[in-house]
Structure 1
Amino acid sequence: MKSLASSIALAATVALSSGAVAAPISEWAFTVNQSFDPNSTTWTSTGTTPVDAFGNNVDALPDGQDPAGNYSYVRWGTPANPTNDRSFLAADTNFTQTGLMTNGAGVAGSTFYHGNYTVWGGSQYEAKLNSASLFTEIEISSVSPEGLSAVLSRTFEIGFVETTNDRNGIDVPIEQCDGYDIWGGSGNIASCPDRFSLDIRSLDFSTEIDGYIYDFTVAFDLSTLNNIVGVDVNDNIATIWTGEGVLSSIGTLVTVTAREVAPVPEPASIALLGGGLLAAGMGLRRRRK
């Protein structure tokens, strides 16, 4: 987990509308809107298609908890106990964050949630989530000085596996659960954790404005882990294991740094350089003759 902060980030280049800015932009704000795409969601082959599977810009998570504000979610599964909740993935949406200082400390970004609740399997019950696409739109604007803005669109592909501790009616030892080599040894895991994977290649973005390149980075904030059993990053895929029967969450941290662009020679200097090279070439030609 200690290597996660330096490993996880997303990348793309965006052009901001720019006026004459003499000094680096010192402060930024951003607004995030997210939603799960029903058309790109796939379910396991066994079971009926989940009903009322999607929610957007709702004021509570599907299990009734409300740790932040507004959410988008995808949910599935027939609860093993009628009083239990269905499983779900969710993300913060429709929120604005200010106070992002250039070359300063990071500020909180979106939080991702997993309601890991026990659901029935089999053809007579609802199918389970296999994969989902989370569409994210981020509007970035400058606070000091004001007047610069851009809208970024990203789609994050999420693979999901709802695990079981039962194979052919036989309990699976915890040491045989997927990912045990990553999260094992804590001593308090009673059942196989679920896992979801996220392609993290789209999280960083950079832009050049008036002689400065601004690099924005989004990383998982390890200080926010809640009921997260383990995290692993391999080949730009982050895999996250979550505890059974609880709401799990992991937050993000957004930072921005600025660096000066190397100066470009003035046109007059380029012309002089070109003329000098031409003269040197002509002299060399005369000597050869």
Structure 2
Amino acid sequence: MVEVRTVLAAQSKLGEGVLWDADREVVWFVDIKRHRLWHYDPATGSNSYAEAPDQIGWAIPAEGGLLLCGLKDGLYTFDPEAKRFEKLMAVPGEPAGNRLNDACTDPWGRVWFGSMDDSEGTASGRFYVFDRGTIRPAGPDGITITNGPAVNAEGDRIYFTDTTAQQIFVADLSSSGVGGARPFADTGALFPDAYPDGPVVDAEGHVWTGLYLGGKVARFTPDGELDATIDIPARDVTKMAFGGRDLRTGYATSATKNMEPSDMTDYPDAGGLFAFEAPVAGFAQAKVKLG
């Protein structure tokens, strides 16, 4: 049994992209639909949000004190001191109806991210890699809702999530590129009414995923077997990250955009940021190399 607490009642419509910023010792996460980039300081409880120019899927610390962010129309930098967004580049070939959704770094400072149809009805999404100022397609395509990717500590495995199909895939990774994706976990067979959302890998190489419509996070072994679940006091759990100085605090984001008033009665803390003492640590995430 793990005690889960609400640490920030953010009332997010679509909370996502949670991660730990080791330099600043704060948690970053986004509310995609309300265009908000949140920060939360666990030492003091202080928090605030910056207004993004459009829907924002993720924000990752980069070299030079900036954050690299994925917005609807491309990549932006964010200066936390000035609270200023600046567009860096568009994603070549992306349909106008798509937006960026989730991302991670690998040990070489590359950013792996996915796009998706903003209306969640067309399989127009795919995965990309941002590598020191260039973007190229990398990983699966033809996906309606992409989530992840997530990379392990050694940098030799990367996980891609096809949320609508209730599937997580894995591929071999190296400094030179990515291999072909193969099945890792069929979450639909285990949680038929829930959908795998944002994944993260822990220090032992196990994969954690939020379960949208599932009310929990689930942990899978490196072989794709279900290892454990932790109940979260929100129906639509979106993403998890490891934080704190020892990287043993689990943080999870959640959403309310598909909930009715009766659902909110059952889950009054939905849309919040949650925390719990994790049974295993995460590992330090590499900063983005911008150039």
Which of the two has greater helix per residue? 1
Q: Is the pair's TM-score, using the shorter chain for normalization, greater than 0.5?
A: no
Highest Rg: 1 or 2? 1
Which of the two has greater strand per residue? 2
Greater relative contact order (CA < 8 Å, ≥ 6 in sequence)? 1
TM-score (norm 2): 0.26
